[in-house]
Structure 1
C-alpha cells in the first residue's frame, strides 16, 4: 500500500483523474470501478474535462459503481445514479449500456445482487477500482465488522455513516438506513486500487491505516493491505497526522 501526500485537494484530485484518463485512453476495453461522494466531485470534473478536451473515444469504456442506497428512486437527486449522471456520465456522453449500478429495488433482491456480482466476475477484473474512505475506515458501504470475503449484498448503515451523509439530504431522517454495496472481496477483484482521501476529518483514519501492518476486521480498508497495487492519495489535511519519516 503506497501513501502519497500531494498537498492540495486540486493536485490530489488531478492525479487520480489523470490515472483514470490514461486507463480510458490506452486500455482497449477499459473497465473501471467507480465511487461517489463529495471527495470525488473535483476529480470527476477534471476527468470529464480531460476526456472532452482530448476528444477521447469512450465507446468501449464500461463502469460499475460501488454502491447505491436501497429503495431510493433512481431519479431521486440523492441517488448515486443521479450523482454519477450529473458529475460524470452525462458530461462525457456515457450511455446507459456502459454504466452499471447495483439494482436497489425490493424485488428479487438476492437475485439482483448475485447478478451484479456475476457481471463483475465475468467482465473483470477492474483495471482500476476507485475508492473513498469513511472516517471509521469503511470502503463502499462495508462497515467495521464486514467479513473480508463479502460480496455484493444489502447492508445496514451505521449511525456514523448516516450522520456523515446527512449533509446531502434536507433532513437526517431522509437519509436511507440501508444500501446495496459491493463486498470487500468484490472490491479487491481489481488490478489496481486508488483510494482518494481529502480533508482533516480523514486524518485520524489515514494515520491509523498508515501504521497498520496487519488487517483488522474493524477497519475495512485494512483488508487492502495484502493487495499488490494500492495507492492512497491524500491532500495535506488528510495526511497531516502521518509521520512519513517513521518506519513503515
Structure 2
C-alpha cells in the first residue's frame, strides 16, 4: 500500500487521472471501475480535460495554466459500477447509473454501450448480483478501481465489519450512511434503504485500487484505515 498526501482535492484528482491516462495508453480497452459521490469528481474533471486536450496540471494549474498535450483517446475504454441503489426507477437522476452517465460517460464522450453495472430494479436482486459478478469476470476483471471512503469507514457499501471474502450482494444502508447521502435527495425519506454493492472480495480482485479521501470529515476514517489495528 502506498499513501500519497496532496495539497488539495484538485491535486488528488490530477494524480489519479494521470494514472488512468497511463493505463489507457498502455491498454486502450481497459476496464475502469468508478465510484460516485462528491469525492471522485476532481478525478473525472481532470480525466475529461485530458480527453479534450485541455491544459492539465497540479491543483489550480488545471484551471488553465498547466501543460497542454494531445487529446487522450478513450474510445475503447470500458467503465463499470461499484454499487447501485435498489428500487430507484430506471432513469432516476440519483440512480448511480444515471450519475455515472452524467458525471463520467458524457464528459468523456462514452456511451452506455461501454458500461457495466448491476440492475437495482430487478425483482430478483440476488440473481442480479450474481449476473454482475459473472459480467465482471467475462470482461476480464477490473484494471483500476476508484474508491472513496465513508465517514464511518465504509468502502463501496461495505461497512467496516464486512467479510474480506464478500462478493457482490444486497446490503441494508446504516442510518449514518443514509444521512450522509440525503444531501443528494430532497429529503432523508427519499434515500433508499438497500443497495447492491461489490463485496470486498470482488473489489480486491481489481488489478489496481486507488482510494481518494478529502476533507476533515474523512480524517478519522482514513486514520483508522491506515493506522488502525
Establish whether TM, by shorter chain, passes 0.5: yes
User: Match for 2:192 among 151, 176, 183?
Assistant: 176
Aligned pairs for 1:142-157 (under 5 A) are: 142-157=158-173
* In 2: Cα distance, 1:77 partner to 1:125 partner: 28
Q: 2:59 matched to which residue of 1?
A: none
3-state DSSP of counterpart to 1:191: coil
Q: Is the 8 A contact 1:129 1:192 kept in 2?
A: yes
Q: Does 1:91 align with 2:112?
A: no
Q: 2:3 matched to which residue of 1?
A: 3
3-state DSSP of counterpart to 2:210: strand
Matched residues, number: 213
Gaps of 5+ in 2: 54-69
User: Match for 1:60 among 54, 76, 80?
Assistant: 76
Query: 1:94 deviation in Å?
Result: 1.0
* In 2: Cα distance, 1:120 partner to 1:206 partner: 28
Q: Does 1:185 align with 2:198?
A: no
Query: 1:175 deviation in Å?
Result: 0.7
For residues 47-82 of structure 1, the C-alpha deviation after alignment (integer angstroms, 9 at most, x for no partner) is: 111112143332321111100111112311111112
Q: 1:116 matched to which residue of 2?
A: 132
Query: 1:181 deviation in Å?
Result: 0.7
* In 2: Cα distance, 1:96 partner to 1:8 partner: 31
Q: Which has the higher contact order (CA 8 A, sep 6+)?
A: 1
* In 2: Cα distance, 1:78 partner to 1:205 partner: 25
User: Match for 2:153 among 137, 158, 176?
Assistant: 137
* In 1: Cα distance, 2:52 partner to 2:104 partner: 11
* In 2: Cα distance, 1:90 partner to 1:120 partner: 22
Q: 1:165 matched to which residue of 2?
A: 181
Query: 1:86 deviation in Å?
Result: 1.3
Q: 2:123 matched to which residue of 1?
A: 107
* In 2: Cα distance, 1:211 partner to 1:143 partner: 18
* In 2: Cα distance, 1:18 partner to 1:165 partner: 29
Query: 1:210 deviation in Å?
Result: 1.7
3-state DSSP of counterpart to 1:50: helix
Q: 1:51 matched to which residue of 2?
A: 51
For residues 2-40 of structure 1, the C-alpha deviation after alignment (integer angstroms, 9 at most, x for no partner) is: 111111111111111111122122214211111111001
3-state DSSP of counterpart to 1:116: helix
Q: Is the 8 A contact 1:124 1:189 kept in 2?
A: no
Q: Does 1:22 align with 2:50?
A: no
Gaps of 5+ in 1: 215-248
Could you list the structure 1 runs, at least 4 aligned residues long, displaced by more than 3 angstroms after superposition: none
3-state DSSP of counterpart to 1:32: strand
Q: 2:66 matched to which residue of 1?
A: none
Q: 1:224 matched to which residue of 2?
A: none
Q: Does 1:80 align with 2:106?
A: no
Which stretch has the larger CA shift, 76-85 or 176-185?
76-85
Using the size of structure 1 for normalisation, the TM-score is 0.82
Using the size of structure 2 for normalisation, the TM-score is 0.88
3-state DSSP of counterpart to 2:79: strand
